[in-house]
Structure 1
Amino acid sequence: MQIELRPVTNENWEACCALELTAEQQGFLEPNVYSIAQAGFEPTLVMRAIYAADELVGFLVYNSEREELDSYWIYRLMVDQRHQGSGVGREAMRLLLGEMQQLPEATCIVVGYRPDNQAAHRLYERLGFIDHGDRFGKEMAVRYTF
């Protein structure tokens, strides 16, 4: 399966908003429309649509400016419920890490997620993110070091 990260544009932003999580995952992430609105007010946020072949299957957002833990942060990774479990999230994260490694002085990438989100925990652990005990509100933050 060919996975590709593309910019979120006038042509695909509404389709990004229509992507859905499973009922069990609803409490883990804000709706994509929230992230798209947030990016309109925070110019350092970068949005990407995740495509498998030419089908939109997911959405992600990261900050192109360092913040807490002197690191770049991934704000959102979501894969539509119909495409979960197929390796889309893992491959999208690999592509994203490659893209983020090109940011100025990128040495560490951080992603936060709710501790009860076991699917996210397994994904990030498999990709090499390490839990150093960092907590921000309801979320734990794990780090990937280049």
Structure 2
Amino acid sequence: MKSNIELKEIDSDNWRENLHVKDEQKEYVSDLKGIEARAYAFRSFRSHALMIYYNDTAVGAALYYDYEPYKAYDFCELFIDERYQGKGYGKQACKLIFDRMKADGKYKKVILCYIDGNTTAEKMYLELGFTKTEEDEDEILMSMDL
């Protein structure tokens, strides 16, 4: 099955997309402005802020950067706009992001962290092949070999 999902770096043409998560998800994920700010803060760690498109429509955003202490990519942000959730776009985007990481080749591992209680994210990341490695208060750390 061909994916209609495409990734584009967030830039001067798309940084103002009107994307939002559901109110009950706001405690778990950053909004687009938060992703852009974090990408800027981590620019010296080769941050990649990405807009996720489905058939040329912006449906979400993601962010990852190099995390040398773990010798891994830190896949620190992902969200799909509330209008497009439940269609598999997040999982398809993750696979494309992991392909980008593999092609880059700097690390052979990806880590991420999600907030305890975000069962949707937990389920998806487990399905993608991540395993839980640590817990720190309400944060769950996961990792996956690329």
The alignment's TM-score, normalised by the length of structure 2, stands at: 0.90
Other structure's SS at 1:97 match: helix
Judge conservation of contact 2:60–2:78 (CA < 8 Å) in 1: yes
Match of 1:39 in 2: 39
Identity fraction in percent:
25
Match of 1:70 in 2: 71
Q: Which structure 2 segments of 5+ residues have no match?
A: none
CA distance in 1, matches of 2:105, 2:88: 29
Using the TM superposition, give the Cα deviation of residue 137 of structure 1 relative to its aligned residue in structure 2, in angstroms. 5.2
CA distance in 2, matches of 1:91, 1:126: 12
Using the TM superposition, give the Cα deviation of residue 104 of structure 1 relative to its aligned residue in structure 2, in angstroms. 3.6
CA distance in 1, matches of 2:92, 2:16: 23
CA distance in 2, matches of 1:107, 1:53: 30
Using the TM superposition, give the Cα deviation of residue 101 of structure 1 relative to its aligned residue in structure 2, in angstroms. 1.2
Distance 1:67 1:138, change over 3 A: farther
**Which runs of 4 or more aligned residues in structure 1 lie more than 4 Å from their structure 2 counterparts after TM superposition?**
none
The alignment's TM-score, normalised by the length of structure 1, stands at: 0.90
Query: Could you give the per-residue CA deviations for residues 12-64 of structure 1, whole angstroms, max 9, x where no partner exists?
Result: 0010xx2111121011012220221222232121111000011000000000x
The amino acid that maps onto 2:117 is D
Match of 1:4 in 2: 6
Q: Which structure 1 segments of 5+ residues have no match?
A: none
Tell me whether 97-106 or 5-14 shows the greater mean CA deviation: 97-106
